Structure formats: C-alpha cells, structure tokens
Amino acid sequence: MKLLVLCERVDNEGGTETYLRVLLPALAARGYEIVVAARTVGRKASYGVPDYEVPWSDEHDPPSRDAANRIAEIVTAFEPDVVAAHNVMDAGVLEAARFQTRRFVYHLHDHRPFCPNGDRLYPRSSDICGLTMSAIVCGWHSAIDGCAYGPRPRTMQLIGLRETLAAGVREADSVIALSEYVAGLARRNGVANVRVVTPPISADAFASAPAPRPEADAVLFAGRIVPSKGGRSLVRAIARISAERRPLLRVAGDGPDLDALLLLAKRLGVRTEPLGRLEPNRLRGAIDASTLVAVPSLWGEPFGLAGIEAFARGRPVAAYDSGAIGEWLDPAAGTIVARGDEVALAIAVERLCEPAVWPDRAVGALAAAQRYALEPHVEAIAREYEIA
C-alpha cells in the first residue's frame, strides 16, 4: 500500500513528531511504501522514509496556492492509496491531497482545527473553553476574553479560516483522535466518523523493571516549557513541601517560559536542575534518575505523552486532571488532582515520594504502560487505512 503522510514538521522533538518517529517505521516494516510531505523538514531529522519540504501556510494565514499545487504534483507522481494528514492547518493542502486519493484520513492531535485561539484557553481568565466553534461564539469571546487577536477584523478572518479547515476535516473518510477528550471536541464540531486510537510507546522505551528509587528525591518536568504546561504551577506546589522533604525539580526541555520558571523557583527556594532538550535515550535516563514525573498541564491536554513515557520506565506520575489526563492516569500508577490545585499537587508529590508508597506505584506504572504497546496501535491504524 502506498501512503502519503502530510505533517507540520519532520523534527526530533514535539509530541506529534515523536509519534511519527515511532509509527512510520513500524508501518514501513509491514510493507507500506511511505512518502512524507511536511511544512518544514529539520536538517538532521528523519522519519526513516523519503520526505519533501512543502512550505504551506501556517495556522494564521490563508491557504497557499503554491503549496496546494505542489501537493497535487506529489499526489499525481506518487499515486498514494491513502493520504494521512497530521494536524495540517492549510485547507488548500487538504483539498489538494484529497483529490484523486482513494482514502483520506485526518489525525487530530490537538485543538487547533476547532479553535481560532489554538489552545482552547481563554487568555484573560485561563479557563478552558468547552464550546463549539462558530463565528458568533468565537467572535464574542474575542471581545470578552481576548481570544485570537481580540475584537479585530483579523480575528474574524481567522475564524473563517478555521471554519474552512474544519469543513475539510469533516470530509475525511476517517478522523483519528488520540483520546476521547479530543474525539469529543471533534464530535461537537460536526465530525461524525471519528475514532479513538491511543498513542503507542516504542518497544525500546520500556524498562524491564523500574530502576531503583533514587537516594535523593527528584521530580521531572519534561516537554516544551510554555505557560499552559503548568511549570510555574508545579514550582509553587513543590515550594509548599517542607524544606527538609522538598524534592529537586529537574526540567527537561526548552521554551519561552523557562526563564520565568527558573526565576520563580529561585525566589521560592525550589532547587532546580535544567537539563535542556534531551534526545529519547537521555530523556529515559532522566526519568530513571527521578522519583516521579509531574504533568501539571493547565490547558485541556489532548493526551499527555510524558505521562505514559514515565510509566514505561516504571515511574509514577502526579498530574492535574485536565483534558485527557484522567483517561490514562491509573490510580495504581500515580495521583491525579484538580486542575490548578497546587496544595493537592504538593500533597500528591510528597506522598508519591514516600518509601512505603513508591514501590507499589512504580510497579503499577510499568503495568499501566503495557496498554500502549506499539503493535496493537499499528494494527488499529492499519485498519483505519484499509480501503473498502
């Protein structure tokens, strides 16, 4: 079977990019002939298959006619049986990819096709939006909550672009979401043929047994360091733990909120160890060297790969109940508390660090990770790609 994959980036970091680095080689091993077209291709990045860089429009700009023409050329030359688009935000590219393609599948990784603001967070209140996208609703919230560009003509133009994109998503033969949370968003926005296929963990990411508990407790926070990921909220929670029991905070990643996080930690007396961006093997080492992993997301987390990656190493997770996190955080493998409740998060972290509690949660985490083995995921994706 010939598969054309459309994605935003060929890169070595990011949740969607991590997913594609795992999925595409597995599909190729099953005999798929795969070509990737991406908006950007990193110089040192590869998914192990041929790729083309096609610089289509980003999520704020009108569709690129040149990019649509280039995608049409690739479709004509490659003649794919299936086109799979991963959060492509250029409606013209989607239309070009669907033309003369036997099956078109859209992978929905986050909120953006159904949210002009992009993250479904109201900028002024930081509350999570649960509404269906429309010009009236989103226009109103641009005025009262500052969504998108605020009450400006450019916001209405952006809403129109999103509505056109959403229409393209609805025309897919199948829409795949990584969580019930994201699937529910799609259904509220008129997508009838959405399927949930939870993400996989690569076979080499699993530990055979949890690494020994470190002598000095440490909490790992990993991912892109942006306000919606809740790094500063985690700092404030850890600061509530008494100084003699307060764990070290390791920060793996980079982003615009890193300096503010480190400054806050210094002010509140929370010891930190910035690790920078880590390749997968080094990230696994950082997980093994920590007592637990924290996922303090303040936005509606579409899934939360950092959590199940911690499980695969036998590390429990403390997290906020936000978005899809409650779908995978097994009570035997960690603790989930109300979104933004820093007192409860502090108690959860301290409790999971207790020597009498940690061993059972570590074993429970490794057991919970087995639900995300690669082969069942690949089987499910292959079924969605099948041509009737």
Is the predicted pLDDT of residue 14 greater than 90, yes or no?
no
Looking at residue 388, its pLDDT comes to 61
Contact 37, 4 (CB under 8 A): yes
Is the predicted pLDDT of residue 150 greater than 80, yes or no?
yes
Integer CA distances (angstroms), 132 to 56, 163, 255, 310, in order: 27, 11, 30, 33
Q: Return d(Cα 230, Cα 81) in angstroms, integer.
A: 42
**% of the chain surpassing 90 pLDDT:** 94
pTM, two decimal places: 0.94
Q: Return d(Cα 314, Cα 126) in angstroms, integer.
A: 33
Place 182 in a pLDDT band, splitting at 50, 70 and 90. Answer: very high
Contact 18, 376 (CB under 8 A): no
Is the predicted pLDDT of residue 358 greater than 70, yes or no?
yes
Q: What is the pLDDT of residues 237-282, one digit of tens each?
A: 999 999 999 999 999 999 999 999 999 999 999 999 999 999 889 9
Looking at residue 387, its pLDDT comes to 82
Please give the sequence-ordered ranges of beta strands (E in DSSP) within 54-121, or none if there are none. Answer: 82-86, 103-108
CA dihedral 148, 150, 152, 155 (to 10 degrees): 10
Integer CA distances (angstroms), 133 to 106, 118, 157, 159, 169, in order: 19, 11, 14, 8, 14
Amino acid identity of 167? A
Amino acid identity of 191? V
Q: What is the pLDDT of residues 221-242, one digit of tens each?
A: 999 999 999 999 999 999 999 9
Q: Return d(Cα 95, Cα 231) in angstroms, integer.
A: 39
Contact 18, 45 (CB under 8 A): no
Across residues 19-37, what is the average pLDDT?
95
CA angle centred on 3, ends 200 and 24, rounded to 5°: 30
Q: Return d(Cα 15, Cα 86) in angstroms, integer.
A: 12
Is the predicted pLDDT of residue 100 greater than 90, yes or no?
no
